[in-house]
Amino acid sequence: MRWWIILAALVPLADPVRAEDLAAIEPRAVAALGAGFVARLDGPQLTLSCAACEGSPVVEIRVGRQEDGTEQRLRSGYTTITSLDQQCRARNPTCRVERADLGPAVGWVSAYQAGPLYGSTLVLLRQGALVLVRSVGGSAEVARGNVERLRAQVLPALVGN
């Protein structure tokens, strides 16, 4: 899980946008991920886990602020998905990055392997607000699938339509 720390360094978190938004989406997030998932809310972080599921997947949703210019550089094309992909691959050859905008938010999603675990991280930025989703599981399909279910069914409530 060391790669979570490295990827987190690429996306520094500041003060939470609104932690109460996470409380509002908690039931939808649990339902989106399915039977067996339980949630734990701790300020700007919602952790969802399923100990009974194969591979014991864990998903974390964080909200915060990121006003370091990353959003503007991504919107303008100064920072490209290709450059983010190259940076990620330099740290972990299994890492792949794709564009992942959602409504008015811009962002990217990465997928990678870290030892026996697989991970996927989604970063969404809108007017300085940050939504960060990290998922780990026993397979690439589980890790990325959990991110995509949340992206489709839950995250629009956090980033707006």
pLDDT average per 10 residues of sequence, the chain (161 residues): 41 47 92 95 94 94 91 94 95 96 94 95 94 96 96 90 63
| Domain assignments of the chain as residue spans, ordered by start | 2-159
* HSE-CB for 139 with a 13 A CA cutoff: 5
Using alpha carbons, list the distances in angstroms from residue 147 to 32, 44, 60, 90, 129.
10, 18, 10, 23, 19
Distance (Å, rounded) from C-alpha 147 to C-alpha 33? 9
Distance (Å, rounded) from C-alpha 154 to C-alpha 22? 10
pLDDT of residue 160: 77
pLDDT of residue 109: 97
pLDDT of residue 99: 96
Q: What is the CA radius of gyration of the chain?
A: 15
Residue where the block lists tokens 């946008």: 17
Distance (Å, rounded) from C-alpha 95 to C-alpha 109? 10
Distance (Å, rounded) from C-alpha 29 to C-alpha 3? 24
Q: Which helix (H) or strand (E) holds 25?
A: helix 19-33
Provide the CATH number for the domain formed by 2-159 in this structure: 3.40.1000
Distance (Å, rounded) from C-alpha 127 to C-alpha 138? 35
**What are 19's two structure tokens?**
């932690």
